[in-house]
Amino acid sequence: MEKQFTAATEERHWREEWERLDIGRANPDSQRPAFSMALPPPNVTGRLHLGHATNGALQDALARFHRMRGAEVCWVPGTDHAAIATQNVIERQLAAEGTSKETIGRAAFDARVESWYAEVGGEILEQLRRLGTTCDWSRARFTLDDAYVQVIRLVFRDLFDQGLIYRGPRIVNWCPRCGSAISDEEIDFQEHHDTFFYVRYRAAGPSAGGDRDGITIATARPETIPADVAVAVNPDDPRYRDLVGTTLLEPLTGREIPVIADPLVRIEVGTGALKITPGHAPDDYEIGQRHGLEVLTAIGLDGRLRTPGLAALDTLTVAEARPRAASLLRAAGAMVREEPLVHMVGHCDRCGTVIEPLVTPQWWCRMAELAEPAAEAVRSGRVRFHPPRFAAEYLGWLEGLRDWCVSRQLWLGHRIPVSTCARGHVFAWVDEPVQCPRCDSAELRHDPDVLDTWFSSALWPFAILGWPEPTPELSRFYPTHVLSTARGILRLWVARMVMTSLRFTGEVPFHDVLIHATVLAPDGQVMSKSKGNGVDPLAMVERHGADAVRAWAAQIAMGIQDTRFDERRIESLARFANKLWNMTRLLWDRLPRDSDDRILLPPDPPRSELELADRWILARTAEVVERVTASFQRFDLTDAIDTLYEFSWHELADWYWELAKDRLEPAGTAGAVAGRVLLATLAALHPIMPFVTDACASRFAGQPASLDLGAWPEPPDSWRDPEAVEAMVACLDVTRALRSALQESLGGRTSRTRRGPVAVVRVRRGPDCLWTDPGRTYVARMAGVVFDDAAEPPPDRPGSSAGQVLVVGPTELEWRPVGEVGAGPDLASIARELARVEVHHANLAANLAGPFAARAPAVVVQREQAKLEEAERRIAVLRDTLSSGRDGVPPGQGDPGRDR
C-alpha cells in the first residue's frame, strides 16, 4: 500500500467500480423496503456550486445509509431547463458577442439553446458523479424531455378544465428587459435612495374644500401621474374626511379625478393621501378594482412612457421621465416640497432590471383550492420539516396566497398548451390539435406564452416516476421519503410540489423536507457569480478529495446556522481520510495476506482470549455505531461525522492501534479485533466518505465489492462491556496525567527510543486495572514508565517519598525520574496549583453544604462528592510536596525560568 491515500486515483477507480456494480440502480421488483428521493434538478445554467455539492453529499449519505440498512433505494437525478435563467445566460453570451436574440432570430436562438443544454446538462450530472453520488442515472430526467412535457400538458389541461387556470388582465411584475411577467417570488428587493415628491392636487371646483384648495399627496413616481385616476385617503382620517367625494385636478394634464376613501391607505405615511394609479402599482390596482376605477396606462411594456397627451414625457424611459415630470410640477407650482426617500424597489431576480408593475393579460393558477390541502399536509405531520421551524414559514406563505401568474413572455420554455380557434373557442390540449374540438375550425392560434419554469418543477417527484401511468416505480417509490434542498426555494418549489402532488396523486410528494445550510463566502457574503466570490466544489475535490468535501458537507449541512466557507475544515478531513488509510496500512503490513494481497483476518477470538483493551474497543465500537445510526436516522450528519472522526482518530488510532501494534501476530487476538473494529468503523463512515472507506475495506479478504453492498454494522451484544470501558478509561486518564506531569517536569527529555522508560511509578491507591497486568502494562508502555511495586503495594499514606505525587480521580500514585536524583518539584507552580485546587475545593464544599445536596439527583451529588474527595487528596499531597520541598531542595532549583 502507498504511504498516502491518493484520492484522485482511488476516486477514479471506485467511481468506475460503482458504475460497474450499478449501485444506484433501483429495482422496483425487489422485496426490500423502499427509500426514495428526487434530486432537486439543478438549473442548466452553468457549473455546479457548493450548494449543489452540499446537497448532493447529504442526499448520497442518506441513500448509502439506507441501502446498507437493507432498503431498495431509488434516487432519481435530473436537470431543469430553467427557462428564464437559461434564456438570460444565452442572452448575455449573445450580448458579449455583440449580437442579440432578435438579431439572430428564433431558429438560431433555439439551436443555440439546444447545444447549451446538451453540453452543460451532461456536465452537471458528470460533476455530481465526481462527488461519488449514487443516483440512479438510468432514470435521469430533463424537464424538456418529451415524456415530461406530456405530464406538464396533462396537468395544465386538467387545471384548465377544472377552472383552476384562467387567463385575464391583471397587474403583474413586469420586467421590461426580459419583456415578461415575473412571479412575486422572483423579485429581488433592493434599497433605493430616491426623492419623495409632495405634490399639490388642486380642487376641481369651489366645492372642493374651500380655503384648503385641494390635497397634497406624496409620491416617489411623479412620472405615473398621467395615469392617476383618483386620490385616496383613509376613511378614518379626520384631515380629509370632508373632501371625500369631491374632485381634484391631476396636476400634469389637468384631468378631474375623485377623492375616495379606502382603509388600505395608511394615515401616517406621507401626507396620508395617496394618488391612485391602478395601471402601475399593485395596491393602487387593488383599490381601483374595489372602487370600480378605470385603468390608465402611462408606461408601455418596453418601460417607456406612453403619454400622447403629454409630449414632454412621451417615449422617455422611466428614469428619464421622472426628473422631467418633477420639473413640470415645479413649473406648474404644484410641487410643495421634496425630501429624500429610502425605500425598497423590486428588481428582476434574473437580470436585475427594475420591475414595472403593469397590467397585462396573463395565465393564472388559482391558489385557494390548492393551498389548503398543502397546509393541512404539514399541520397533520404527513410532511415534516428539518429543522422544524421552516414549517411555520411554509404555512405562513400558504395563508392569503395570491393567484400564481404561470405565464411568461419568453422565447425559452414550455409553450402554454392552449389554442384559440377562429371563432374564439379557447381550449387546452396535451397533443397539439389540428382543429377546434368545439367547431372543427382549422384556424388555430397556439398561445404564444411559455410557462413559468416552476410550474414544471412543481411536478418533479411524480413526473419522474412515470405518472400518470401506474408504473411499478410509482407504486413502489412514491411518495418519496426525503426531499433535501436549500432554504431559498421553499415557496417557489417545495410548497408547490406539495400542492400539485396532493391534487394529482392524492399523496404528499415526500415526508421529510431537509433544509440544508447555506454556504457563505469566507467574508460572510452570499456567494454569487456577480460578486465572483464563489468557490468551485470540483476544485475542492481535486485539491482535497471528494471524501473530504463530502465530510465537510455532512458537518455543515444540517447545522442551524449558515456557515462561512472555510477550506481548513476540508483540509483536516482530507487528513482524516489519510489517517484511515494508514490505520489500514498497519494491519496490511503486519497481518498475513492472501494471494490477492488482501488481509486475512485471524478468526474471531473467543471471549476468554480478549484482554482489557480488546474488550474496551469492541464495547466502544458498539456504542459508537449505535449513536451514529441514530444520528443518521434523525438526519444529524454533523453528529455522525464528528462522532466517527473523534472515535476513529482519538480512540482507535491513538490508543488501540498503539496498544495493538505489538500484538499483531498472525493468529493473535489483537489483529482479529482491530480488523473487525476497523471494518465496522469504515462501514459506518461509508455513507459519508465512500471512497476511502471502500479503498480501505477492499484491502481485507472476504469483503463485498463495495461496503455499499454490504450490511450496516450491527455489533453483537457480546461486544458491550461497561466494566472494560470504565477500567480502560481509568488507564487512559492515568496515562495522560503521567505524560503531562513527565513532560512538564522533564521538558524534552522524554524520547523513548533513546531513553526507554523515563520514570518509576508506584501506585498508592486506585482501581484494580492499575495493579494488575494488562492495565499496568498499557500505562507503562504508553506513558514510558516502569512500575516498581508490582509485588507489594506501599502503605497507603501520603508524602514521605522522594517522588512526586499525582492524583487522578480515584487514583493516587507517585513517580520519580529513572536513574536521576529528582531535580525537585517546581515549588512555585505547585503553590499555584494548590491555590487553584483549594478554591475548587471550597466551591465544591459550599455547594454540597447547601440545598444542592438535597435537591439535585443522587448521581450528580455523588459525582460532586467524589470530586470533593479528590480535591482533598490533591490538597494533601500538594501541601506535603510543598513542605518537603522547602525542607529539602531549595526553591528555585525547579527551573523557575519556565514560570510564566
Partner RNA sequence: GGGCGAAUAGCUCAGUGGCAGAGCGCCUCGCUUACACCGAGGAUGCCGCAGGUUCGAGUCCUGCUUCGCCCACCA
Residues in 218-257 at the binding interface with RNA, rule: CB under 7 A: 218-221
CB of residue 748 to RNA, shortest distance in Å: 3
Choosing from 653, 780, 786, 868, the residue that interacts with RNA (CB under 7 A) is: 653
Of 71, 285, 277, the C-alpha closest to 172 is 285
Using the minimum distance from each CB to RNA, give the nearer residue, 476 or 867: 867
CB of residue 897 to RNA, shortest distance in Å: 12
Kindly identify the residues of this chain, within the stretch 751-780, that bind RNA according to CB under 7 A. 751-754
Choosing from 44, 203, 204, 281, the residue that interacts with RNA (CB under 7 A) is: 281
Q: Does 726 contact RNA by CB under 7 A?
A: no
Choosing from 792, 855, 858, 897, the residue that interacts with RNA (CB under 7 A) is: 855
Q: Does 282 contact RNA by CB under 7 A?
A: yes
Q: Does 593 contact RNA by CB under 7 A?
A: no
* Cα 406 from Cα 454, distance rounded (Å): 8
- Chain-centre distance of CA 449, in angstroms? 35
Q: Is 613 exposed, middle or buried (0-12, 13-18, 19+ CB in 10 A)?
A: buried
Choosing from 743, 862, 865, 883, the residue that interacts with RNA (CB under 7 A) is: 743
Choosing from 48, 259, 265, 785, the residue that interacts with RNA (CB under 7 A) is: 265
Using the minimum distance from each CB to RNA, give the nearer residue, 294 or 895: 895
* Cα 882 from Cα 804, distance rounded (Å): 10
Using the minimum distance from each CB to RNA, give the nearer residue, 568 or 797: 568
Characterize the bridge pairing of strands 78-79 and 141-142. parallel
CB of residue 98 to RNA, shortest distance in Å: 34
Of 514, 480, 501, the C-alpha closest to 374 is 501
CB of residue 27 to RNA, shortest distance in Å: 36
Of 633, 714, 623, the C-alpha closest to 676 is 714
CB of residue 276 to RNA, shortest distance in Å: 9
* Cα 410 from Cα 111, distance rounded (Å): 16
Joined grid coordinates for residue 376: 393541512
E-state strands within 120-186: 141-142, 165-175, 180-182
Q: Does 341 contact RNA by CB under 7 A?
A: yes
CB of residue 853 to RNA, shortest distance in Å: 8
Kindly identify the residues of this chain, within the stretch 385-414, that bind RNA according to CB under 7 A. 389, 392-393, 396
Q: Does 105 contact RNA by CB under 7 A?
A: no
Residue 857 near residue 788, CB atoms below 8 Å: no
Using the minimum distance from each CB to RNA, give the nearer residue, 810 or 891: 810
CB of residue 828 to RNA, shortest distance in Å: 14
Q: What angle do CA 204, 334, 195 make, to 5 degrees?
A: 130
Using the minimum distance from each CB to RNA, give the nearer residue, 384 or 585: 585
Q: Does 586 contact RNA by CB under 7 A?
A: yes
Choosing from 137, 142, 196, 771, the residue that interacts with RNA (CB under 7 A) is: 196
Choosing from 657, 691, 700, 712, the residue that interacts with RNA (CB under 7 A) is: 657
Choosing from 323, 522, 892, 896, the residue that interacts with RNA (CB under 7 A) is: 522
Q: Does 114 contact RNA by CB under 7 A?
A: no
CB of residue 48 to RNA, shortest distance in Å: 21
Choosing from 72, 473, 623, 639, the residue that interacts with RNA (CB under 7 A) is: 639
Kindly identify the residues of this chain, within the stretch 434-493, that bind RNA according to CB under 7 A. 487-488, 491
Choosing from 337, 531, 661, 886, the residue that interacts with RNA (CB under 7 A) is: 661
Using the minimum distance from each CB to RNA, give the nearer residue, 39 or 806: 806
Stretch that binds RNA, among 412-420, 670-678, 681-689, 746-754 (CB under 7 A): 746-754
Joined grid coordinates for residue 350: 434574473
Q: Does 337 contact RNA by CB under 7 A?
A: no
Choosing from 12, 92, 337, 343, the residue that interacts with RNA (CB under 7 A) is: 343
**Alpha-carbon distance values, 368 to 172, 371, 775 (Å):** 19, 5, 71
Choosing from 21, 649, 771, 781, the residue that interacts with RNA (CB under 7 A) is: 649
Q: Does 804 contact RNA by CB under 7 A?
A: no
Q: Does 312 contact RNA by CB under 7 A?
A: no
Cβ partners under 8 Å of residue 746, min gap 6? 758, 817
Q: Is 711 exposed, middle or buried (0-12, 13-18, 19+ CB in 10 A)?
A: exposed
CB of residue 519 to RNA, shortest distance in Å: 9
Joined grid coordinates for residue 672: 482479529
How many residues at the interface with RNA, by CB under 7 A? 92
Q: Does 781 contact RNA by CB under 7 A?
A: no
Kindly identify the residues of this chain, within the stretch 52-81, that bind RNA according to CB under 7 A. none
Q: Does 542 contact RNA by CB under 7 A?
A: no
CB of residue 483 to RNA, shortest distance in Å: 19
Of 53, 83, 297, 330, the C-alpha closest to 183 is 83
* Cα 275 from Cα 689, distance rounded (Å): 62
Of 451, 363, 488, the C-alpha closest to 83 is 451
Q: Does 875 contact RNA by CB under 7 A?
A: no
Query: Three-state SS for 346?
Result: strand
CB of residue 694 to RNA, shortest distance in Å: 18
Q: What is the DSSP letter of 767?
A: -
Stretch that binds RNA, among 338-346, 705-713, 817-825, 882-890 (CB under 7 A): 338-346
Joined grid coordinates for residue 77: 437525478
- Number of Cβ within 10 Å of residue 490's Cβ equals 18
Using the minimum distance from each CB to RNA, give the nearer residue, 310 or 574: 574
Stretch that binds RNA, among 29-37, 534-542, 711-719, 845-853 (CB under 7 A): 845-853
Joined grid coordinates for residue 512: 421529510
E-state strands within 749-877: 759-765, 785-787, 804-808, 811-817
- Number of Cβ within 10 Å of residue 597's Cβ equals 10
**Alpha-carbon distance values, 293 to 47, 247, 282, 356, 383 (Å):** 49, 14, 14, 20, 44
Stretch that binds RNA, among 181-189, 239-247, 429-437, 684-692 (CB under 7 A): 181-189
* Cα 440 from Cα 425, distance rounded (Å): 10
CB of residue 386 to RNA, shortest distance in Å: 13
Q: Does 733 contact RNA by CB under 7 A?
A: no
- Chain-centre distance of CA 684, in angstroms? 22
Q: Does 863 contact RNA by CB under 7 A?
A: yes
| DSSP secondary structure string for all residues of 637-674 | HHHHHHHHHHHIIIIIIIIIIHHHGGG--TT-HHHHHH
Binding string, 284-303, against RNA, x = CB under 7 A? Answer: x-------------------
Q: Which residue has the cell 388555430?
A: 444
**Alpha-carbon distance values, 157 to 25, 162, 164, 279, 430 (Å):** 33, 8, 10, 31, 7
Using the minimum distance from each CB to RNA, give the nearer residue, 264 or 539: 264
CB of residue 67 to RNA, shortest distance in Å: 25
Cβ partners under 8 Å of residue 158, min gap 6? 504
Stretch that binds RNA, among 162-170, 297-305, 494-502, 637-645 (CB under 7 A): 637-645
Q: Does 851 contact RNA by CB under 7 A?
A: yes
* Cα 781 from Cα 232, distance rounded (Å): 89
**Alpha-carbon distance values, 211 to 55, 85, 612 (Å):** 67, 56, 101
Provide the CB-side half-sphere exposure for 680 (13 A, CA).
Answer: 25
Kindly identify the residues of this chain, within the stretch 547-576, that bind RNA according to CB under 7 A. 555-556, 559-564, 566, 568-569, 571-572, 574-575
| Cis amide bond preceding 206, omega within 30 | no
Q: Does 899 contact RNA by CB under 7 A?
A: no
Choosing from 642, 789, 838, 869, the residue that interacts with RNA (CB under 7 A) is: 642
* Cα 871 from Cα 874, distance rounded (Å): 5
